[in-house]
């Protein structure tokens, strides 16, 4: 669930170098979240308030049922370190995830 386009409360979901974030109707994306570039959310993944997932120079995958809690930052390293977060994972409030793999 994402706030409707044109609403005053809409998550920032932006392409980067022509690659758009991928999500579906089963996802919850808070109004204050930011998704940029090559970010893919699995079914029923949730991205909470003030999270930033920045897939600008590599990719980010968030597994099905994963919960990314408030104020988390997920970013990557060019060419060497994508961020691969498994299924049914809880990322705690304020975490910084930098180009790593977190298994199911």
pLDDT in 10s for each residue of the chain, 104 residues:
555 444 556 899 999 999 999 999 999 999 999 999 999 999 999 999 999 999 999 999 999 999 999 999 999 999 899 999 999 999 999 999 999 999 99
CATH number of the domain that residue 66 is part of: 2.160.10.10
Alpha carbons 95 and 75: distance in angstroms, whole number: 11
Residue 57 lies in a domain: yes
Structure tokens at 6: 């044109």
Assigned domain for 5 exists:
no
d(CA 61, CA 32): 20
Determine the Cα–Cα distance for residues 95 and 90; give it in Å rounded to an integer.
10
Q: Is residue 29 part of a domain?
A: yes
- Residue holding tokens 């579906």? 24
Q: What is the pLDDT of residue 50?
A: 97
Instruction: Assess if residue 2 is contained within a domain.
Output: no
**Can you tell me the distance from the alpha carbon of 82 to that of 38, in angstroms, rounded to the nearest whole number?**
10
Number of domains in the chain: 1
Task: Name the residue range of residue 42's domain.
Answer: 12-102
CA-to-CA separations, 46 to 43, 61, 86, in angstroms, rounded = 9, 12, 13
Has residue 72 been placed in a domain? yes
C-alpha span between 65 and 28 (Å, rounded)? 10
Is 44 domain-assigned? yes
Whether 74 is covered by a domain: the verdict is: yes
Instruction: Report yes or no on 69 lying in a domain.
Output: yes
């Amino acid at each position: 669930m994402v706030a409707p386009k044109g609403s005053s409360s809409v998550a920032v979901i932006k392409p980067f170098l022509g690659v758009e974030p991928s999500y579906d109707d089963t996802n919850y994306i808070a109004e204050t979240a930011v998704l940029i570039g090559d970010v893919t959310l699995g079914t029923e993944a949730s991205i909470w308030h003030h999270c930033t997932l920045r897939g600008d120079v590599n990719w980010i995958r968030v597994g099905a049922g994963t919960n990314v809690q408030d104020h988390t930052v997920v970013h990557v390293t060019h060419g060497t370190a994508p961020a691969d977060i498994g299924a049914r994972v809880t990322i705690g409030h304020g975490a910084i995830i930098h180009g790593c793999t977190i298994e199911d």
